[in-house]
Amino acid sequence: MTEKSIPPRIGDRLLTLKEAAEVLRLSPRTVRGYLQRGEIQGRIIGGRWRFRREDLDTFYEVAPRGWDFAGNQSHEE
């Protein structure tokens, strides 16, 4: 079984799209864009996106330094 196919542990609280966006301080629309590009892991359960906090933390950790989370490189020096 690969890591991507491991289901959430029973008892893990799954976050909604809105909650995931709040955790990442992004808009739900931006989170959907990352989902479409396969950059954030999520699952559709009951017709709605659900996220594990662990997957959001992983997304944040692997994001390039200087990434502005709107899909652009930061211009900071």
For the stretch 5-15, pLDDT in tens is 666 565 678 99
What's the rounded Cα separation, in Å, for the pair 41 and 46? 17
Domain membership of residue 44 as a residue range: 12-62
With a cut of 80, say whether residue 66 has pLDDT above it.
no
What's 18's domain CATH number?
A: 1.10.1660.10
What's the rounded Cα separation, in Å, for the pair 38 and 12? 22
With a cut of 60, say whether residue 2 has pLDDT above it.
no
Residues 15-47 have pLDDT tens digits of 999 999 999 999 999 999 999 999 999 999 999
| 22, containing H or E segment | helix 17-24
Provide the number of structural domains found in the chain: 1
Amino acid 76: pLDDT: 43
Residues 6+ apart with CB under 8 A from 35: 42, 49
Pairing outcome for strands 43-45 and 15-16: unpaired
Residue 68 resides in a domain? no
